[in-house]
Amino acid sequence: MEWLTAPFEVAFVQRALLGGVLVSLICALAGTWVVLRGMAFLGDAMAHGLLPGVAIAALLGGNPLVGAAASAAVMAAGVTGLARVRRLSRDTGIGLLFVGMLALGVIIVSRSQSFAVDLTGFLFGDVLAVRERDLVHLAVALAVAAAAAAAGHRAFLALAFDERTAHTLGLRPRLAHAALLGLLTLAIVASFHIVGTLLVLGLLIAPPAAALPWARGVGAVMAGAAALGVSATFLGLLLSWHLGTAAGATVAAVAVAQFFVSVAVSAARDRLVRPAAATGTDAPTPRPAAVRQPA
């Protein structure tokens, strides 16, 4: 029992656990829509697009969160603008912004004498360095994310199924998409300094994707994603403590491992159910997923 509790008797690990729990809840709210809308590549681009703002803030001695928010706003505006350009696919526009912003960020950071340290911190974060004021920021971000998710739920749901249906229902799909971008931006900006940009997608995508085969509705996907994210945080910190591995990377690795376990178990369940259904035996029917990911 001591093996389970000993790490969490240390104050900085307790803060890391609480910070990871808050990040998991924020990412569950935003990540569910990212998975349902097929926006993983956009999420990756948005995460890496923060680098120029963070780099400028670091060089000027400003707040990295402010720089990240400004950079994310530029990325979101760029994605929205390029989406209106005819003969240019959305993925192409996102990819160009991704490469351009990342290259600009590396150029800016390379002007600093602490290039390696700054870039490593940006990419991988430091969950064990969470401070009390970081927890306050995360709590505020969670409250804003929850309010946005609740207010936009109907529009986001229609948008996830069919943009034309959302327009027919008068839900203003472009505005809904912009709000969804804002929710994604909030999750990434609030989380990147905890687990880093390379690892934030682990908590943003893996828990909702793992919960999807077992959920009956969007709310259930969010609840399952939150539970999986919290458990990944706990197990990741526990393993990191005993194995001496990077905490943020271990948390993300556990989240991804949960996804593969969920897929494997779901596939095994389906293989067992299908023969039973073919023979007409009274076997439980599989539970449908919440929605199918749009093409």
Structural domains counted in the chain = 1
| 251 part of a folded domain | yes
The mean pLDDT of 174-190, rounded to a whole number, is 86
The mean pLDDT of 47-63, rounded to a whole number, is 82
pTM (2 decimals)?
0.83
| 222 part of a folded domain | yes
| 66 part of a folded domain | yes
pLDDT at 294 over 60: no
CATH number at residue 129: 1.10.3470.10
| 205 part of a folded domain | yes
H helix or E strand, kind and range, residue 233: helix 218-243
Report residue 178 as tokens.
């912009």
Alpha-carbon dihedral of residues 15, 145, 37, 76, nearest 10 degrees? Answer: -100
> For residue 201, which of 26, 79, 16, 44 has the smallest C-alpha distance?
44
| 133 part of a folded domain | yes
Terminal-to-terminal C-alpha distance of the chain: 47
- For residue 293, name the pLDDT band (cuts at 50, 70, 90): very low
| 290 part of a folded domain | no
| 3 part of a folded domain | no
| 114 part of a folded domain | yes
pLDDT 10s digits, 115-134: 554 566 676 778 888 888 88
Angle (nearest 5°) at CA 86 between 35 and 52: 60
Task: Give the Å distances, CA to CA, from 3 to 9, 40, 53, 238, 268.
Answer: 11, 36, 41, 9, 32
Alpha-carbon dihedral of residues 209, 204, 244, 18, nearest 10 degrees? Answer: -120
Question: Could you tell me the residue range of the domain that residue 190 belongs to?
Answer: 14-270
